[in-house]
Amino acid sequence: AQSVTQLDSQVPVFEEAPVELRCNYSSSVSVYLFWYVQYPNQGLQLLLKYLSGSTLVKGINGFEAEFNKSQTSFHLRKPSVHISDTAEYFCAVSDRGYSTLTFGKGTMLLVSP
């Protein structure tokens, strides 16, 4: 069975500061990894995904994530956040493809002026 741990339920940060949202997973097989963002009163939107190849993945809105197999991590980073990045971020893992996504509990990113 696979699982996802998002270590921080909330991350407060000031505007223009860098941020890292942590995600660790467990799985007995090769995995696909995803980060989704959920803005208030909206559904989830894909930020980026790792399927294979380069371990550094770039996504939308200036976000990137790095797959680290030895540490079973897929942390999300942004060098300079904006107020508009305030949202909840979900890490997800799949070992068979999109239809078997397992989500973490989410991390609320709170960006203040």
Partner 1 sequence: ETGVTQTPRHLVMGMTNKKSLKCEQHLGHNAMYWYKQSAKKPLELMFVYSLEERVENNSVPSRFSPECPNSSHLFLHLHTLQPEDSALYLCASSQESGLVTEQFFGPGTRLTVL
**Nearer to partner 1 (CB atom), residue 63 or residue 90:** 90
Q: Which residues bind partner 1 (CB under 8 A)?
A: 4, 9, 32, 36, 41-46, 49, 51, 90, 94, 97-106
* Alpha-carbon distances, residue 89 vs 1, 22, 28, 79 (angstroms): 22, 10, 24, 16
**Nearer to partner 1 (CB atom), residue 52 or residue 113:** 52
CB of residue 80 vs partner 1: minimum separation in angstroms?
26
CB of residue 33 vs partner 1: minimum separation in angstroms?
10
**Nearer to partner 1 (CB atom), residue 80 or residue 100:** 100
State the Cα torsion 97-100-102-108 to the nearest 10°.
70
| Rama region for 107: left / alpha / beta (φ>0; ψ in -120 to 50; rest) | beta
